[in-house]
Amino acid sequence: MNMRKWILLATPLVLLIVTVYAPSIWLRKNEAGSAPAYAAAATSRSSNVLGDIALFAGGCFWSMESSFEKIPGVLSVVSGYTGGHLDKPSYEDVITETTGHLESVEIRYDPSIINYEEMLQVYWRQIDPTDNGGQFFDRGESYTTAIFALNEEQRQLAEASKKALSESGRFNKPIVTQIKNASAFYKAEEYHQDYYLKNPDHYNSYRKASGRDAYFSKIWGADLQVKLTPKAEPYKNVNKAEKLKTLTALQVDVTQHEGTETPFRNEYWDNKQDGIYVDIVSGEPLFSSKDKYDSGTGWPSFFQPLEPGNIVTKEDISLGDIRVEVRSKYANSHLGHLFEDGPKPTGLRYCMNSASMEFIPTAQLDKRGYGKYAKLFN
C-alpha cells in the first residue's frame, strides 16, 4: 500500500506524521497529469541531449531524482514509470498497484565522467536492496527496486555488481533488487519533475522522516560517497598558444578578449546544414544544429547545448547591465551570452559568436573524431 494513502487511515498514534504528509497525499492523488510514452532507449527532457542512459527504480522517484542530479557527469534525470503493461499510465493508475509499473528514473550521463559501473555503485547507495515490499515509507510493488538493462552489456555489469554487493557482507539479508530488460518508459506528470526543488520544505521533511538517509549512513558509513575514477579529458591538453597563432584576428578578439562579431555578417548565423559546433580553440563539442533556431538577432542561436558539461556561465556587467556570459570549459573561450527568451522546451537562447566556433558537418563527424554524434542525424 502507498504510504501516502495509508497515513490517512492510520491511528491517532501517527497523526503527527499526517500533519507533515497530508499535503503530499492530496497533491499526488488530485493533480491532473498525463504521461506521454517514450522509447526506453531514447527518452530525456530533450531527445537531442546526448549521453548514455541508465534506468533505475529505487522507490520514490522524488528522492532518486534529487540524489542523482547531484552526481558529477549526470546530464539529466527524468521521473517516470516503467516495467508495467498499461500504455501511458498516470500516477493514479500506478498507485493502484495493478499496472506492474515501478516509479523509476531515466538518467542521462556522460560516460567520459562517470561510467555505468559507477552509476550502479551510486544506485546501491540510494536504496535498501534487501526490501522486497517497497522503500522506507512507501510500500507496494510500485516502490520496489529494479535495474532495467538497456542492453546485454548493462545486464552483465548489473549482475556482476549485484553479486559483488551480495558477497560484500555489508547486508545481513539477501539482495532482492531485480535486474530486468528495459521496456517502455513513461515520463511522470510535470509536478513530479524536480519536486525537491519546487517544494523544498515539504520534500526535506518527507525525506528526513522517511529514515532513508539515516539508513544509508548506518549501512555505508565512510563509503557512502562513490569515488569516481578520473577520466581522460581530451580537450584539456590542447596547446592553446600554438592554436591561437592559426586563428584570424577576429577569432582571437572574440575568444580571448570578449569581442563581438557583426550580426548578420558572420559565418554561421544562417547556417542550415546538419552537424555540430565545436570550440574553435580546443575542439570541445558545444552545440548541435538540431538545437539551432532563427532568433532574428543575426547571431547563431541555440535553445540548449549539445554537451552541457562543456559550457560555463558567469556574470557579466561589462555593459552596465547584468548579463550571463557563456564560455567553454576547457579552452575558456568567450562564446557569447545566455538569455531567457528562447523557444520551448528550455526557454533559453544561447546567443553565440560564429568566430568562437567551428562547424563540423555530419559527413565529417567520423573523420574528425566526433563519430559518436552521428546518431543524432540518422
Mean pLDDT of 287-292: 97
**Is residue 25 domain-shared with residue 80, that is, in the same domain?**
yes
At 61-89, the pLDDT tens digits run 999 999 999 998 888 899 999 999 999 99
**In a domain? residue 288:** yes
The domain that holds 218 is classified in CATH as 3.30.1060.10
Residues 324, 219 share a domain: no
- What is residue 2's predicted lDDT score, i.e. its pLDDT? 52
Q: Which of 195, 223, 251 is the last residue of a domain?
A: 223
CA dist 43 and 278 (Å) reads: 25
> Which range of residues forms the domain containing residue 254?
240-377
Q: Tell me which residues are annotated as active site.
A: 60, 351
Count of structural domains within the chain: 2
Residues 117-140 pLDDT 10s = 999 999 999 999 999 999 999 999
Do residues 275 and 368 both lie within one domain?
A: yes
Look over the chain and give the mean of its residue pLDDT values, rounded to a whole number.
87
Q: Does residue 20 lie in a domain region?
A: yes
pTM higher than the cut 0.75: no
Does 88 reside within a domain?
yes
pLDDT at position 50 is 58
- Cβ–Cβ under 8 Å, residues 361 and 273: yes
The confidence score (pLDDT) of residue 231 equals 72
Q: Domain for residue 231, yes or no?
A: no
Measure the CA–CA gap between 36 and 185, rounded to whole angstroms.
Answer: 9
* 72 or 205, which is more confident: 205
The mean pLDDT value for 41-56 works out to 60
Can you tell me the mean pLDDT for 173-189?
A: 96
18 has a pLDDT exceeding 60: no
- Say whether both 109 and 193 belong to one domain: yes
User: Over the stretch 213-258, which tens digit does the pLDDT of each residue have?
Assistant: 999 999 999 999 998 887 777 788 889 999 999 999 999 999 999 9
DSSP states along 213-267: HHHHHHHHGGG-S--PPP---TTTT--HHHHHTTS-HHHHHHHHH---PPTTSSS
Average pLDDT over every residue of 332-349: 95
